[in-house]
Amino acid sequence: MIFGYKEYKLGTENLDRLIRHLNLEAITYSGLRRRGEAAFIRVASESIRPFERLCDRLGVERKSVRLSLAARMIKTVISRKGFAAGLVLCVVLGLWLSNRVARIEILCDDVKIKRGVLNVLRSEGVEAGSFIPSIDLVVTERALKQRVEGISWAGITRKGNTLYIDVVEKEGTEELVYDSHPANLVACENGIIENIEIQNGQVRFPVGSGVSKGDVVVSGEIVKTKSKWIDGKEHIDTRISYARARGSITGTFERELTFSQPLVSETKTYTGEEQTKRFIKFFDAELPLFFSSPEGLYETQESEQDICLFGLRLPLGVKNVGVSPYTLTQKELTKEQALELARQKEKLYEENFLGDYEIKDVQLKEEFTGGKAVIKAHYTLRGEMCRQVSFFMPKDAFRVRK
């Protein structure tokens, strides 16, 4: 009875026939009860007219007793045409606004990428005021990935009338942002250079040299000297130019790490007291339908249900938040169990962080200290030793020579 109900007092004559016909004619009712020489029934607002016609046809005496609040409100709205028209106008306006882009949020800190995303969106017809159901999100995401420099992935999510653009920057995006600045190739490991392949820059350490972390191996400051003799004296002409050092410097280096696992570990134990907290959503606002917030430790899972009318989303919806409380319990591990967990951490490090290197040797030292199982790992690796680091040119380089 979404639209309320009307309660009737009925006479008992032909009451049994009326009850049989109620089910046959699919009349929505509830609360049928007898009290002395009378019966009472609640009939849904949408079934009032069919019910009254049925009572007249079967000769059942009826008397209106009470009209529910929802039914009274609907009756008032219908009887007042101006109010009804205003309400319809508000619903239509809300429907129109909720399906128009009000805001675009780009989840990225890079100013250049943000500007590129906005330009592509504008060219695809996606901007403030655009009709959301007409936007092909798949096509727009593909356009962002193909035409915005510096990103490898883009995703669009709609929440209300706000579009959230999430992008993943390519590795080395700093090079794209600061492409006009010169750069050095700087050692990021302590090791020995075995091979150098450069496209730009001036080599400072030849093959076979040992370098320390932070050394400039290939410089973006290119110094050229030219010697000439005038009147028996040597004159050296020095010219400095700037470039972005590019290339690959590979070599052998060592890396040391420590992996540990306490003998006492904490584990999650779910209490099983699942809760669901609900919010009413109106545009981007969320109104809680509960009085007390969950306490203690818990995990949450969210889901949203939007209200649609004729295939279009209204600015109203319900947000459900599932709450799973849990407690942390401590568990005593044996030395062998703790050591095995530490070994797993070391293996995960090799798989996740050393995949780009050739592992020439691994030495592991296992021990127990401070209530922990400790593995000290010494790796001998071969691979890329340098990374590109931008720098600013000195002011002298901008002076115009006369």
| H/E segment holding residue 303 | strand 297-309
Give the whole-number percent of the chain exceeding pLDDT 70. 90
- Position 77 confidence tier, pLDDT thresholds 50, 70, 90: low
DSSP string, 193-225: EEEEEEEESEE-S-TT-EE-TT-EEEESEEEEE
Radius of gyration over every alpha carbon of the chain, rounded to an integer in angstroms: 38
Weakest-pLDDT range from 119-123, 157-161, 360-364? 157-161
Domain boundaries, the chain: 5-78, 103-174, 188-247+387-395, 255-266+332-386, 270-328
- Position 350 confidence tier, pLDDT thresholds 50, 70, 90: very high
Strand-pair partners of 120: none
Question: What is the homologous superfamily of the domain 5-78 according to CATH?
Answer: ACT domain (3.30.70.260)
Model pLDDT for residues 97-113, shown as the tens digit of each residue: 777 888 899 988 888 88
Kindly tell me if the per-residue pLDDT of 402 is higher than 70.
no
Nearest to 279 by CA among 248, 318, 241: 318
Kindly tell me if the per-residue pLDDT of 200 is higher than 70.
yes
Specify the pLDDT at position 262: 92
Q: What span, in angstroms and rounded, lies between the C-alpha atoms of 372 and 262?
A: 4
Question: CA of 138: how far to CAs of 62, 144, 150, 363, in Å?
Answer: 60, 10, 19, 49
- Reduce the DSSP state of residue 98 to 3 states and report it: helix
Nearest to 176 by CA among 147, 150, 197: 150
Specify the pLDDT at position 178: 45
Residue range 255-266+332-386, CATH number: 3.30.1070
Question: What is the homologous superfamily of the domain 103-174 according to CATH?
Answer: membrane protein fhac (3.10.20.310)
Is-same-fold flag (5-78; 255-266+332-386)?
no
Specify the pLDDT at position 397: 55
Q: What span, in angstroms and rounded, lies between the C-alpha atoms of 232 and 370?
A: 74
Specify the pLDDT at position 171: 57
Strands 162-169 and 103-107: parallel
